[in-house]
Amino acid sequence: MVTAFVMIKANTGEADRLKENIAEIEGVESAHIVAGDVDIIAKARVETPAAVKEIAATRIQGIQGVEDTQTYIAMD
């Protein structure tokens, strides 16, 4: 299994809606609104790095209101 954390910047006022949309994506275990440089952090657990790419680059970035993402794959 591959565990990844996706840092998401949201348009102003969109964090609550985006959190709900992101949490519904298959492979996303959790999504949390946070304080700091990003607005939401999502945790994904999937079978392959390609599945991480599908979630982050296609599914999450495809949601209207997402400004930017950064993805970190856990090494342990």
56 touches 25 (CB < 8 A): no
- 9-31 pLDDT, tens digit per residue, is 999 899 999 999 999 999 999 99
Alpha carbons 45 and 51: distance in angstroms, whole number: 9
Can you give the pTM of this predicted structure? 0.94
72 touches 4 (CB < 8 A): yes
| Paired sense of beta strands 66-73 and 28-33, if any | unpaired
**% of the chain beyond a pLDDT of 90:** 97
**% of the chain beyond a pLDDT of 70:** 100
72 touches 9 (CB < 8 A): no
